[in-house]
Structure 1
C-alpha cells in the first residue's frame, strides 16, 4: 500500500509547528516537494527504494531560526536539503553546547525517537531548506519496504558514527589537533556534497567552533593563525583554503618555532571564518 503525505500548503502551515517556527512555506520558485526516491538519494540510500506517490514537504528557514526546539514533541524527522545548521543542547543554566553542524544530506531529530521529546534543538546558521519526514509515514513505508527500513537504520548509524569519531578526539587530542581534525572533517563533508574539499565557507563562528571542540574563542583564533603561519591553510574573511589536508588529518602538534611567530589575538578580531 502506498501512502501519500502531500497535503495542502494552507493546512500544512496551520497544523505543523515547524512551519510556524521556520517563518513560513518555501518561496514561489523554491522546490516544494521531494519524492521518496529523491529523499533516499539525498540520504545516500541505495537505489532499491521503490518509487510511489509519497511526497515530502520542503520548508525554508532564515539564519537564526529554529527548526525544532528542546522539549518539543516528536513527530517528524528532518533532512537537510541545503544550507548549514547547528544542533545544540542547553543546560539548566541556559548554557549552549554545540553537538553537531548538520548540512546537506544529514538526518535530524533522531535523538527524539526514544522518548518522543526533542533533547536538542536545530538552528539555521544560514538560509537553509529542510525536508519534513513525518515519522508515522516513515514507519508505514518501512512495513511495505523492509529494505528501506534497514537502510534508514544505516543512515542513523552513520550519523552516530560521525559524531562519535569527533567526540572521541576531544578527549585524546590537544587543541591544535582538534582544530586540524575539524577542518579535515569539514573538507570530507564538502567533498561528499560534490563541492571542493580544499576551499569552502564555514557558516559557524569561531566561538561556535570552540564550543563544539571544547576550546575558547582565543584558542581557535590563535590556532587558525598558527596554521596559516605554517602554510597549512589560508583564511580570508569567511573563506578558508586548505593547502595540506593530509597534514591536517595527521597533525598532533605544531613545532614550537611556528607558535612563537603567531601574534597575539586582537580583541576586535573578526570572529567568523568562512567556508
Structure 2
C-alpha cells in the first residue's frame, strides 16, 4: 500500500516544513516511511482513498487496479491554528474534510483582507502552483480536518489517468468561477445587498453539504465578514439588525435564521430610516442616580433607526 502522506495531530506546529512533508511521502509499496515515527500521533481513521478524495471534490474517480491502493492522510488543526503562512514554500494541496477556515492576505503595511471562507469539499492551495509559494495564509476558524495531497503525487496521477486530470482542472475552474462571482458581487452590489447575498450564499453552501440552509451558525466574526465584503464592521452589524427588524432573518448572537429567503435573495437596498424620537419633557423634576440611567437607556432605544419592510428595495 502506498501512503501519499501521514497523519498529524492538532498539537503539532502551525505549519509543515518542506522537509517534513517530504519525509511523509513514501515511495515504497506496502509500507509508510516516517522520519520520526514517535513524534506524531494518529487519531481515528485518518486515511482516505483516491475514490473518497474524488467523492469529496464531487468528481468522478478513475478506475485503477486494487494493487495501486493510494491513500491520502489527514491532518487535524485546532481553532486559530495556521495551516500555511504567506511566503511558505508550496508542495501540497489541501482538501477540507470538516471544519471551517479563512484565507487571509496581508499587505506590506500589515493590513489584513479576508479572501474566503473555505468549507468541506473545497480544494485549497491552487493559487500557489505558479509561484511555488503561498501568497496568503490559511487559518482554522474551528477545529478542522484536512486531507493532504502532495502536489507531485496528485499531478502524476493526473498524467496517468486522463479523466482524473480533466476532473482536477474542472475543480480548479470551479474555484476560479467562485472567486470571479465574489469580485462581481463586490463591484455591483451596495453594502446591504452584499450582506444579504453573503447570508443566502452561505445558506446554499450549507444546504449542498447536507445541513440546514435556513438555520446555521456564523463561524466567522462580524469583523471577518466586513473584511470579506469590503465593508465597515458597523455597516455589517447595522445591516444584520435591520434585516432582523424587517423580518427577513432572526439573529441570535452567531445563529442566523433565514425567515424570508426569497426577499433576502432579491434584496437591494434598505429604505431611508428616521430616528423614532418620542421624549416627554419632565419639568421641575430632579433626576439622579438610577432614574437618570433608566431614562437614558429608554431614550437611546427610541432613537434607534426604524425600518419598514414594505419600503425596502427588493428586486422582483
TM-score between the two structures when normalised by the length of structure 1: 0.85
**Deviation per residue, 1:229-259 (Å, 9 max, x gap):** 1100001122111112222221111233599
Q: Does 1:45 align with 2:59?
A: yes
Q: Tell me the residue number matched to 2:194.
A: 178
CA 1:194–1:25: 2 relative to 1, 3 Å: farther
Residue from 71, 75, 82 that aligns with 1:59: 75
CA 1:123–1:9: 2 relative to 1, 3 Å: closer
3-state SS of 2:264 partner: helix
| 1:28 shift after superposition | 2.5
3-state SS of 1:44 partner: coil
**Deviation per residue, 1:196-232 (Å, 9 max, x gap):** 1101111100000000101111100000000001100
Cα root mean square deviation, aligned:
2.6
Larger Rg: 2
After the TM superposition, which residues 83-232 of structure 1 pair with which residues of structure 2 at under 5 Å, given as runs?
83-232=99-248
Q: Does 1:80 align with 2:71?
A: no
Which consecutive residues of structure 2, in runs of 5 or more, have no partner in the other structure?
10-15, 25-38, 277-301, 306-316
Contact preservation (8 Å) 1:5, 1:54: yes
Contact preservation (8 Å) 1:222, 1:262: no
| 1:115 shift after superposition | 1.2
3-state SS of 2:210 partner: coil
Contact preservation (8 Å) 1:175, 1:215: yes
Contact preservation (8 Å) 1:82, 1:129: yes
TM-score between the two structures when normalised by the length of structure 2: 0.75
Contact preservation (8 Å) 2:96, 2:120: yes
| 1:49 shift after superposition | 5.3
| 1:65 shift after superposition | 0.5
Q: Does 1:28 align with 2:33?
A: no
Contact preservation (8 Å) 1:226, 1:259: no
Which consecutive residues of structure 1, in runs of 5 or more, have no partner in the other structure?
265-275
Contact preservation (8 Å) 2:193, 2:268: yes
Residue from 245, 250, 253 that aligns with 2:261: 245
CA 1:167–1:258: 2 relative to 1, 3 Å: farther
Q: Tell me the residue number matched to 2:28.
A: none
Contact preservation (8 Å) 2:200, 2:264: yes
Contact preservation (8 Å) 1:76, 1:109: yes
CA distance in 2, matches of 1:60, 1:99: 22
Q: Tell me the residue number matched to 2:33.
A: none
